[in-house]
Structure 1
Amino acid sequence: MNIVLWVVAGVLALAFLASGVMKVARGKEDLKKAGMAWVDLFSPGMVKAIGAVEILGAVGLILPAALDIAPVLVPLAALGLALVMIGAAVTHARMKDYKGMVPSIVLLLLCAFVAWGRFGPYAF
């Protein structure tokens, strides 16, 4: 199970890192053209802040355990990213973009799985 948790955390880290870098590096118009219509609901600074949180969460899923420095940060990062995905799902629901909710819910469940495993029976 430890290997499964590492693989899921790695996949989540890659997904959130890519998503976060895109939000930080691109402007609102570019993100909207890429299919992220939700950016109209937020200021440019807020979109960049969400991206920064995703990047920090991605780093927090891997580095603390890999470097054996405060590995308790791994489940905390997973929990934080789960909260971000709850916000994403709510945002999509408010926009009546139910297809857009699916990736948010899948990522939420994967984050919850990592948080459960690393807080619980498979802690470092």
Structure 2
Amino acid sequence: MFIDVVGILLTVIIVSPRYWFIVLPLCFAESALTILISMVLESNITEVIAGGIFTTVAGLNNKNFLLILSPLFFLMLGLGLHKDKKIPWLDLINPIANFKRPWPALMIKTSLFRIMVIYLLN
């Protein structure tokens, strides 16, 4: 397992520099869940590069489906924990937005950005 410091810093800048102390554990949890899902589904993992939303998992038969399960889980969890009636979609784009409850909003943001990166880079 390697750690991509530049990817982690870019993740904090893209998602939310204001709530960096929340973004880092979310990225760690998402990477750990991706590895656990790959282990449970007996995918042969050869290399993991942890870089926030730019995390890559290399293996013999890794597919985008395995990589997208963890962000989908955190997206559904964030939508479930979000208490407001409507989601401020413009605040999801704004990296310095202020949230009343930052954990669900940042779960949604990191998940959406991670899904975009998976499909744009693969």
Give the structure-1-normalised TM-score: 0.42
More helix by share: 1
TM-score by length of 2: 0.43
More strand by share: 2
